[in-house]
Structure 1
Amino acid sequence: MENYQKQSAYRVMCSEVNRCVGQRINLQGWVHRIRQLGKIAFLHIRDRSGIIQCVLEGEWAQKSLSLESVVAVKGEVVAAEKSPGGFEVIVQSLEVLNQSESPLPFEVNKDRLNVNLDTMLDHRVLSLRNQQEQVTFKVQSVLAGAFRDYLTGQGFMQIFTPKIVAAGAEGGANVFSIEYFEQKAYLAQSPQFYKQMMVGAGYERVFEIAPVYRAEEHNTSRHLNEYTSLDLEMGFIASEEELMNLEEDMLRYMLQAVRVNCREELKIIKVEVPEIGSIPRLTVAEAQQILQEQYGKSSPKGDLDPEGERLICHYFEEKENSAFVFLTRYPREIRPMYAMPAADNAEETASFDLLFKGLEITTGGQRIHNHKQLIESIKGRGMNPESFSNYTDVFKYGMPPHGGLAIGLERLTSKLLDQTNVRLSSAFPRDRHRLTP
C-alpha cells in the first residue's frame, strides 16, 4: 500500500505526457491494447484523459498481462513520430495493481462495441470503458453543467426536492407506490408541485436536476422508467412564449458548450451539433394539418403519435433546416390539472412540447396561479382536491403568474448523438424489465 501511495502522488495523466519529454514519469490506468513484436511489446494504457503507448523491452516485454488489467508504469517519455500522438513511454518498471480475468465478455477496445444491447447492459461497467460509450457521458455531463450555468446566470436558484411523495404530480396511475412506514407513498413523477411551491415561497426562479420515476409499462427505444429531468420554473411571466424564448436561448447555450468542451469526443463519434436559429412554433392543430396535407397522415385527437412527431420534424428539417420544433396549444383534456387554459380558448392550454429530431424532449407551459381556478380544474379531472391540499393551500397566499418546463436529459443526449435507443444515454438504465446492475 505504501508503494501504491507513493506512485499515486506523482501520477501523470495520459493527456499530459506530451509535456514531459525527457522526464521519468508514473502512469496508472487500464491495459487497453497489447502488441507483441519479438522481444519488444507495445502496451497502450488508458486513463480518464486518453491513451498513451508504452514500450516494453527485455523482462518487461515478457510480463504476463491481460486486457483491462490495472497497472502502474514508470518510464521515460520520448518523442516518437510513428507512435499515436507523437510520444511514447519507455518502460523502466511495471506493476500490476489488479489483474483482469481473461477472456473478457466482449472486446472493450474496439472503436464501436460489437455486441447487442442486452449484453452491453448486463456488463455495463465494462461497456462504459469503451471510448465511444464514454463520449456519451462526457457530452451528457456538459449538457447538465451548461443547463445549470445558464440558469444561474439568469437569476435562477438550484433546489433539491423530495422524491418520496404523498401523491403524483400528474395524477393518473403511472406512479410507483412504496411502503413508507405505516402509510403508502410514491416515487415522484416530477418535481412539479415543489417547483411551484418554491416560486410561491418567493424564490421566483428555480431549477433542479434530478431523477423522476414513471410506472409506464412501455418497452420501447424511447422510454425509461427512471430518467434525469432538467426542470425549471419561473414566476411573473406574461405567457408561455417567455418560456419558449428562454428554452431556445438556453439550448443554444448548452449546445455551444458541447461544441467547445467536447470537440475531440465529437470527432470520435462523427457527430455534428446542430445550430439553433429561431425554432419554428406551431399549434398542434396546425401540425396535424401539415401531416394530413403533406403525408396523408392522420393523428390522434389533440396530439401527435410517434410517427407524426418524426414526420413533422422531417418537414421542418427540410423546410427551415431546423432540428427542433415547438408544438403549442395542447387540449386541456390531455394536459395536467395545473395547466393554464389559453387566454382565447378555454379548451386549449398555454402549453407546449419541444420536439428534437422526431422525439419529444420537453414539456412546458404556463400554470394556473389562482387558487379557486386550480381547485375547479382538479375537480374537473374527477380528482379530490383534498388529496392535494398541501400543494393547493400555497395558492391561497399570493402565487404569481408562473410557468416552467422539463427536459429529459437522456432523450436530449440520445438524439443529439444520433443514438437508436435512449438506454444508451443512461449509465444504468431502468426499464420495464431491467433493475440491475
Structure 2
Amino acid sequence: MQDRTYTADAEPGDTVTVAGWVHEIRDLGGIAFLILRDTTGKIQVKFEKEEMDDDLVETGLGVHRESVIVVTGDVEEEPRAPTGVEVTPASVEVLAEADPQLPLDPSGKVDAELSTRLDNRTLDLRKEEVKAIFEIRAEILRSVREAFRSLGCTEINTPKIVATGTEGGTELFPITYFGREAFMNQSPQLFKQLMVGSGLERVFEIGPIFRAEEHNTPRHLNEATSIDFESAFADHTEAMDACEEVVRAAYEGVAENCQKELEALDLTDEFEVPPEEFPRLTYEEAIERINATGELDEQLVWGDDLPTEGEKALGEDVGSHYFITDWPAEIKPFYIKDHDDDEQLSTGFDMMHPRMELVSGGQREHRYDHLVEGFEQQGLDPEAFEYYTKMFKYGMPPHAGWGLGCERLVMTMLGLPNIREGVLFPRDRQRLSP
C-alpha cells in the first residue's frame, strides 16, 4: 500500500491511511473506540455514532477482533488515547474478516498453553512480547554476522544432506536420496574444517542442524540453528577469544537496538552485557567446584561428563558466562586435538551460561595420521569419511573453532523458560507441524 502510514508515524493534523488488525473494540453507547494494531504499535479510531454515516459505524464496529482493516481519516491529539492520538475515520474497509472463535487471545488477556500457542504461531506472534523475542533474535543474528566480519571471516553455506554423520552413525535422521541412504547433517563441522584448508582460511556459518536425540526437555530441539566459526592458524585460546567477542556483540546489539523489545519483555532493568573476559576453568577445577557445592548425590570423578545438576550448581557458583577447558581426551570427538605435552588432555572447551552449555569447540587435529587414529579409537571407519580425511594429506593448517546454539543463546539471554519460545516453528519428538 503506497499511501499507507504506520501507526507510530501518525501525527496530529495528518490525514492518514492506516492498516492492520482489529485489536479491541470498546462500545460506550454514543461513542465507541476501535484499537488498530500494526507492526509498529497501536492507534485509537474514534466513532461518534450520531455524527457519522450509519454504514461507516456498522462496518467499523461490526468487525470481529483480529480482522484486517484499512482506515482513512484525520489524526487528532487525544491525551487519553493509548498513544496520545486518535483517528476520526472517513472510511473503513475490511480486507479480511476473522473468525469470531479464535484459538487463542492475541491481546494476552487470556493465557494459552505453550502447545496451543505453537499450534497457532501466526496468531501467537501478534502478541507484543512474543514478537519482541523474534525481533531480538533477528538482531542477535545481525550482530553476530557483523562481529564475524570484523574478525575477517567469510560466510559459507555447507550441505545439510550428507552421506555420513559428523560424529558417526548415532543421533542421525536418515533419508532416501535417489535410492541411496543419506542423512540430515548434525553439524557443519567437517565442511568448515575443509574450508580453513582452502583459500578462505577463516569462515562462519549460520544454519540448521539436525539431531535425532530422543530428549523431551525444555532445552533440547531436533532441528536447531547453529552459529559456527572456524579459523586457520588459530589455537583453542584464540577460538575462545573470538567466542567471547561474538557473544558480547550479540548482547551489545540487543542493548543498543532493542530497547522497545526489552521493555515489552519487562527486561529493561535487568539486561546486562557480559563482562569482557569470561572466567576459564579447567575440567578438573570444574568437577572440584561442583563436588564442593554438595548438590550431587555422588561425587564426580575424572572422566565423568557433567550432569545437568552439576552444570546448574557450577553456574550458580560462577554466576556469569564461563569456559570449561582441558577436557579429558576420551570424552571429546575424534577431530579435537590433544595437548602436545599431555595426550590425556584435549584442547576441547565448552562455553557455559549459568543455566546451560552454549558452545562446544576446540583446536582441531590437523595431522592426517593422528586424525585417522582418532577415528579408529572411536570405532569409526575412516574410509567412510575419505572426502574429509584425504584433504588433510594436502597441507591442512592448524585450526580451531566452535559451534554456538542460537536458540540457547536467545533462551538464556532473555530468560525464557522453554527453548521452543525462541523458535518460530520448533521441531521436537512430538511436533512436525506447523
TM bracket (short chain): over 0.9
Query: Partner of 2:388 in structure 1?
Result: 391
- CA-to-aligned-CA distance 1:330-357 (integer Å, 9 cap, x gap): 2222211101112332122101111113
State how far apart, in whole Å, the 1-side matches of 2:427 and 2:210 are: 10
Partner Cα separation in structure 1 for residue 332 and residue 100 of structure 2: 54
Give the letter aligned to residue 241 of structure 1: T
Aligned pair count reads 421
Q: Which amino acid aligns with 2:266?
A: K
Corresponding residue of 2:317: 315
Three-state SS of the structure 2 residue aligned to 1:9 is coil
2:342 aligned residue (342, 345, 350): 345
- Alignment partner for residue 182 of structure 1, among 167, 170, 179? 179
**What secondary structure, in the 3-state scheme, does the structure 1 residue paired with 2:93 have?**
strand
Question: 2:7 maps to what in 1?
Answer: 14
Read off the aligned partner of 2:107 and give its amino acid letter.
N
2:162 partner amino acid: V
Give CA-to-partner distance per residue, 1:78-133, whole Å, 9 cap, x none.
1111112212211111000000001211211126x611111111112211211111
- The question of whether the paired residues in 2 share the 8 Å contact of 1:302 and 1:330 is answered with no
Alignment of 1:49-64 (within 5 A): 49-58=40-49, 59=54, 60-63=56-59, 64=62
Give the whole-Å Cα distance in 1 for the aligned partners of 2:305 and 2:70: 58
1:257 to 2:253 alignment: yes
Which position in structure 2 is the counterpart of 1:105? Answer: 103
Comparing 281-290 and 54-63, the one that deviates more? 54-63
Equivalence map 1:1-400=2 (5 Å): 8-17=1-10, 20-58=11-49, 59=54, 60-63=56-59, 64-110=62-108, 114-237=111-234, 239-271=235-267, 272-277=270-275, 278-297=277-296, 298-299=299-300, 301-317=303-319, 322=320, 324-400=321-397
Q: Partner letter of residue 184 of structure 1?
A: E
Task: After superposition, give the CA deviation of every residue in 1:21-43 in whole Å (9 maximum; x if it has no partner).
Answer: 21211111111111111132211
Aligned to 1:3: none
Asked if structure 2 preserves the Cα contact closer than 8 Å seen for 1:224 and 1:431, the reply is: yes
Would you identify which runs of 4 or more consecutive aligned residues in structure 1 move more than 4 Å?
none
Question: Which string of whole-angstrom CA distances, capped at 9 and with x for unpartnered residues, describes residues 7-57 of structure 1?
Answer: x1101111211xx32121111111111111113221111111221222123
The percent identity for this pair of structures is: 40
Letter in 2 for 1:303: D
> How far apart, in 2, do the equivalents of 1:78 and 1:313 lie?
53
Whole-Å separation in 1 of the counterparts to 2:265 and 2:291: 36
Distance 1:251 1:385 in 2: 35
Q: What do you get for the CA RMSD once the two structures are aligned?
A: 1.4
- Paired residues of 1:208 and 1:231 also in contact (CA < 8 A): yes
* Deviations 1:359-418, CA, capped at 9 Å, x for gaps: 111111110111111111111111111000001111111111111111111111011111
Residue 5 of structure 1 corresponds to none
Matches of 2:273 and 2:209 in 1, distance apart? 29
Q: Is the 8 A contact 2:161 2:185 kept in 1?
A: yes
CA distance in 1, matches of 2:385, 2:111: 50
1:286 is matched by which residue type in structure 2? Answer: E
What amino acid sits opposite 2:300 in the alignment? S
Q: Check whether the contact 1:77–1:87 (CA below 8 A) recurs between aligned residues.
A: yes
Contact map agreement 1:26 1:72 (CA 8 A) in 2: yes
Q: Under a length normalisation based on structure 1, what TM-score does the superposition of the two structures give?
A: 0.94
AA aligned opposite 2:100: S
Q: Is the 8 A contact 2:314 2:354 kept in 1?
A: no
Contact 2:318 2:354 in 1 (8 A): no
CA contact (8 A) 1:332 1:347 kept: yes
Q: Which of 389, 407, 410 is the equivalent residue of 2:404?
A: 407
Deviation of 1:307 after TM superposition, in Å, equals: 1.0
Name the CA distance, whole Å, in 1 between partners of 2:255 and 2:415: 15
- Checking the alignment, whether the CA contact within 8 Å between 1:243 and 1:405 is kept in structure 2 is yes
Maintained 8 Å contact 2:147/2:245: no
Q: Quick check: 325-334 or 181-190, which moved more?
A: 325-334
Please name the residue that 1:4 is paired with: none
Shift of 1:296: 4.8
| 3-state SS, counterpart of residue 201 of structure 1 | coil
Secondary structure at the counterpart of residue 197 of structure 2: helix
Letter in 2 for 1:104: L
The TM-score, its normalising length taken from structure 2, stands at: 0.94
> Helix, strand or coil: the match of 1:327?
strand
Within 2, Cα distance between the matches of 1:421 and 1:355?
Answer: 17
Gaps of at least 5 residues in structure 2 are none
How far residue 213 of structure 1 moved from its aligned partner, in angstroms, is 0.1
Indicate conservation of the 8 Å contact 1:41/1:61, yes or no: no
